[in-house]
């Protein structure tokens, strides 16, 4: 038995211990999933692709090519609709969404769906919002692929912090006020896994803090920073749905921003930028980023 066949055999054994109906027939699918072909020598492959922060025109060329050549694309809630429209109509799409505060698929189940399709010989694109290297739980998926000897690659994308910075004009670094930037996950479910708030406060004088996935935790973040000594007047910006037509921004202080954002009724995804760079917002003209404005004319 070849390595490819052994991988399929053990994977199929794992799956039959789960809900086989869910695996073999997806609800609302136009056609049934195919059974594993254990006699096939051909494993599929997986491209883990960064979809960028929103606007489909921010996709890399490699990401676009991967979408065009895929058999199936597994995408999550953070992928913008404009990016999904880039997927050819003949390519199968499967939602494997995760969203804070909403019913969502567990990460272990997402890994199983990726394996299922790859072991069936398909070219799989796992499409993730932003960049796969930043708070995307990519390692859990690549470990599963490695376990079953499935080849994979990672195609980077523009991370949401960079997109929000460019589309709002708020720099992430500044020669005088922020010589570094720190990305922080706002998943604060367990107090033991919370960031070192005192260290964040101590570094804030010359460092920008960017919180990902923090909309629902904004009040907690501001409270923790103030409690650990950061001035309540310290500047904060919250960017909602960055790099999309519905982008919105609220600017305030640690004390005022939770009320402002609540009044604005942001829905997310949102980026929280904390630091003196907020006071140095550049007057970018976002209209220049439209397709029409960036079109090149022949001379």
Which residues are designated catalytic? 76, 98
Count the neighbouring beta carbons within 10 Å of the beta carbon of residue 50: 27
Q: Which residue has the tokens 């796969």?
A: 132
Query: Looking up tokens 């004088």, which residue turns up?
Result: 205
Neighbouring residues of 208: CB distance < 8 A, sequence distance ≥ 6: 172, 173, 178, 180, 181, 182, 273, 274, 275, 277
C-beta of residue 179 within 8 angstroms of C-beta of residue 297: no
Q: Please report, for residues 288, 290, 291, 295, the alpha-carbon distance to residue 299 in angstroms, rounded to integers and kept in the order given.
A: 20, 21, 19, 13
Pairing of strands 152-155, 207-212: unpaired
Which residues, 6+ apart, have CB-to-CB distance to 142 below 8 Å?
48, 152, 154
Task: Spell out the residues 6+ positions from residue 291 whose beta carbon is closer than 8 angstroms to its own.
Answer: 57
Partners of residue 207 on adjacent β-strands: 180
**Backbone dihedral region for residue 152 (phi beyond 0: left; psi -120 to 50: alpha; all else: beta):** beta
Structure tokens at 157: 């994308």
Task: Give the other-Cβ count within 10 Å of 225's Cβ.
Answer: 22
* CA–CA distances in Å: residue 11 to residues 40, 43, 104, 146: 14, 12, 24, 12
Within 8 A by CB and 6+ apart from 298, the residues are none
């Amino acid at each position: 038995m070849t390595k490819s066949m052994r991988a399929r055999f053990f994977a199929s054994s794992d799956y039959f211990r789960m809900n086989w109906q869910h695996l073999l027939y997806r609800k609302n699918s136009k056609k049934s999933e195919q059974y594993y072909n254990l006699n096939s020598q051909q494993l599929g492959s997986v491209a883990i692709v960064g979809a960028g922060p929103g606007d489909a025109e921010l996709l890399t060329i490699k990401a676009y090519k991967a979408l065009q050549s895929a058999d199936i694309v597994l995408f999550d809630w953070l992928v913008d609709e404009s990016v999904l429209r880039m997927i050819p109509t003949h390519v199968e799409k499967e939602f494997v969404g995760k969203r804070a505060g909403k019913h969502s698929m567990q990460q272990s189940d997402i890994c199983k769906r990726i394996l299922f399709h790859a072991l069936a010989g398909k070219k799989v694109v796992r499409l993730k919002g932003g960049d796969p290297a930043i708070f995307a739980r990519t390692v859990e998926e690549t470990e599963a692929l490695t376990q079953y000897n499935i080849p994979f690659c990672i195609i980077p994308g523009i991370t949401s912090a960079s997109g929000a910075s460019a589309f709002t004009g708020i720099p992430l670094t500044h020669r005088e006020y922020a010589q570094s930037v720190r990305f922080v996950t706002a998943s604060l479910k367990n107090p033991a896994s919370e960031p070192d708030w005192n260290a964040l406060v101590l570094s804030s004088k010359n460092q920008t803090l960017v919180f990902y996935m923090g909309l629902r935790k904004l009040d907690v973040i501001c409270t923790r920073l103030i409690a650990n000594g950061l001035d309540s007047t310290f500047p904060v910006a919250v960017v909602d749905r960055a790099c999309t037509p519905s982008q919105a921004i609220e600017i305030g202080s640690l004390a005022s921003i939770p009320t402002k954002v609540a009044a604005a009724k942001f829905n997310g995804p949102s980026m929280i930028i904390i630091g003196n760079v907020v006071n140095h917002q550049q007057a970018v003209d976002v209209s220049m980023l439209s397709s029409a404005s960036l079109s090149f004319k022949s001379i």
